[in-house]
Amino acid sequence: MQQSNAHRLQVVLPGDALPVYEHKLKLGPGLIQDEDQIIAVKGGVLKHQPAGNKYWVESNQRRYVAATGDPIIGVITQKGGEFFRVDIGAAHSAVLSYYAFENATKRYRPNHDVGTLIYARISQANKDMEPELECVNPATGRADGYGELKGGQVAKCSLGLARRLLETETPILKDLGDHIPFETAIGLNGRIWINADTTKNTIVVINAIKDSEKYPESQSRQVVSNHLSKW
């Protein structure tokens, strides 16, 4: 694939073959590699992220499909002998090993209760198996923000909005940060977590982020102003 703006606007359908002209690239949701071709497995707009040279298909699908490398927000639903079972909003729950945390050992294992909110990374995704999660950055071996999300509130958003918030320079987060200090975690499974200094500000941030999807980025400051004026 050649890096160009045209690819960002290219519409693909399931089964479309896209020739590969470079070797070092990453494939996101909606694409698989078959020998010397990239094959689209779902319909949508072909997107490209220069950082990491990543390609994916963005569509309006409602249910999240796990993809290796995706950061997600999940809820622990079950504790087993060696793992947690986690709801990630997909067709199947995911598995999170007790040892997939920073500094975890047989003697020291994380003790999270059912209902705990977790920010994790999809370490392995296969259509024939449950997705596997990890709460460490594989490049550093450290948590680097992954792990339990304490306080704050979690809300659902479209999968397209989640990806734009995480992988592009969307102004809404910066414009909100100019008025309200807050922490955020964004899951590509269509969940966002916000922790501001007050419940009111947390709600303002969540509502403004979700509302921003309806407007062009040039109106980001106006969206923020509208939501601030309601309180």
Sequence-separated (6 or more) residues with CB below 8 Å from residue 68: 122, 123, 124, 125
3-class state of residue 175 by DSSP: helix
Q: Which CATH architecture has domain 71-148?
A: Beta Barrel (2.40)
Largest CA distance in the chain: 56
Q: Is the dihedral of CA 145, 115, 162, 226 positive or negative?
A: negative
Pairing assessment for the beta strands 94-101 and 129-135 based on DSSP bridges: parallel
The pLDDT value recorded for residue 187 is 97
Beta bridge partners of 196: 182
Residues forming CATH 2.40.50.100 domain(s) in the chain: 5-58
How many other C-beta atoms lie within 10 A of the C-beta of residue 214?
8
Residues forming CATH 2.40.50.140 domain(s) in the chain: 71-148
Q: Structure pTM?
A: 0.79
Terminal alpha carbon distance of the chain? 48
What residue has token string 């047989």? 106
C-alpha span between 16 and 28 (Å, rounded): 16
C-alpha span between 186 and 193 (Å, rounded): 6
What residue has token string 């500000």? 201
- 165: nearest Cα among 140, 193, 204, 138: 193
Residues forming CATH 3.30.1370.10 domain(s) in the chain: 153-228
CATH level 3 topology of 5-58: OB fold (Dihydrolipoamide Acetyltransferase, E2P) (2.40.50)
The pLDDT value recorded for residue 7 is 41
- 125: nearest Cα among 64, 57, 63, 176: 64
Length of the chain: 231
According to CATH, the superfamily of the domain at 153-228 is K Homology domain, type 1 (3.30.1370.10)
Q: How does DSSP classify residue 80?
A: -
- 13: nearest Cα among 42, 38, 56, 39: 42
The pLDDT value recorded for residue 179 is 96
- The structure tokens listed for 108 are 């020291």
Q: Nearest-5° angle of CA 118, CA 30, CA 93? A: 30
Pairing assessment for the beta strands 37-40 and 17-19 based on DSSP bridges: antiparallel
C-alpha span between 143 and 75 (Å, rounded): 18
Beta bridge partners of 19: 37
Mean pLDDT, 10 residues at a time, the chain of 231 residues: 46 79 75 81 80 77 85 95 94 94 88 96 88 94 95 93 83 95 96 96 96 92 93 74
